Amino acid sequence: MIHQEPNSGTARQSVNLDRRSALKTLGVSAAALGLAQVAAGQGRSSAREGGGAVPAHAIGWSDGEFILPELPYAYDALEPYIDGQTMRLHHSLHHQGYVDGANRALGRLRAIAAGEEPAAMAKHWSRELAFHGSGHSLHVIFWTNMKPGGGGEPTGALADKIAADFGDFRAFRRLFEAASNSVEASGWGLLGYEPLSDQLVVFQAEKHHDLTVHGVVPLLAIDVWEHAYYLKYQNRRSEYVEAFFEVIDWDDVARRWREAARSEA
């Protein structure tokens, strides 16, 4: 068992941060860019009375900047499905890189807003924020979508919703695996909640942000960049996608769906 100490000082600060204080500390720029909700891993409803508590590891924002949340399990806890070395590199290096990139972009965009940077750089830093901010958001979701001893099938209202929107769980899984396996180059397979139609949808992301379906709230995300699986699975992405189903935390997916659906009501 590899003992993990992935927590940076800033990550530790997030432990007692609730949704309300996260919103309070939120900068205007981030809100205007629409990143805050998904970066915090929450729906809008949790800012209201009666909103559900969001686990600290699902919060990716604290004190005016994006942060790397600690994992809710040890790096090797998902073995044999996802190996500890991959998890360690993925979380501590790759995800941290997106956190740093998103903070850099946010800072430069604020400087442009304040007239301290050339307006011509708005395009560049907006694109940087789209890439790194989306990378950060999706990794926060990805980590919390998994748990040791996960897998199986969803139950209750989420099971009913999946059956209503896809036919049954097998049909959903067939589509989700097909979408995940066929992402060109680096990207994500995603299950999301589409608020206009009140439906669940399966879609892809290339890189982190291309092919985005705007308005859709991601509920379940599998990282299919090679850094997520290559050490163990090499080019056998479909084996990794199958293994992912053995560690999915369907309670987390259900929580995200409830938050997303309630916030649109």
Q: Give the footprint of Mn ion on this chain (CB under 5 A).
A: 94, 223, 225
Q: Write the CA distances from 82 to 177, 181, 218, 228, 243, integer angstroms.
A: 17, 17, 22, 9, 8
Q: For the chain, what's the residue count?
A: 265
Q: Which is nearer to Mn ion, 44 or 94 (CB)?
A: 94
Q: Which residues pair with 248 in a beta bridge?
A: 146
Q: Which is nearer to Mn ion, 169 or 225 (CB)?
A: 225
Shortest distance, CB of residue 139 to Mn ion, whole angstroms? Answer: 6
Does the N-terminal peptide bond of residue 118 adopt cis geometry, omega within 30 degrees of 0?
no
Shortest distance, CB of residue 158 to Mn ion, whole angstroms? Answer: 25
Q: Which is nearer to Mn ion, 94 or 207 (CB)?
A: 94
Shortest distance, CB of residue 235 to Mn ion, whole angstroms? Answer: 17
Shortest distance, CB of residue 97 to Mn ion, whole angstroms? Answer: 9
Q: Which is nearer to Mn ion, 81 or 166 (CB)?
A: 81
Q: Which is nearer to Mn ion, 139 or 256 (CB)?
A: 139
Neighbours of 47 (CB within 10 A): 17
Asked if 38 and 192 count as a contact pair (C-beta separation under 8 A), the reply is no
Q: How many Å from the N-terminal Cα to the C-terminal Cα in the chain?
A: 45
Query: Where does residue 212 fall: left (phi above 0), alpha (psi -120 to 50 degrees), or beta otherwise?
Result: beta
Asked if 187 and 237 count as a contact pair (C-beta separation under 8 A), the reply is no
Shortest distance, CB of residue 223 to Mn ion, whole angstroms? Answer: 4
| Segment (H or E) for 190 | strand 187-194
Shortest distance, CB of residue 65 to Mn ion, whole angstroms? Answer: 20
Q: Which is nearer to Mn ion, 165 or 249 (CB)?
A: 249
- Nearest residue relative to Mn ion (C-beta): 223
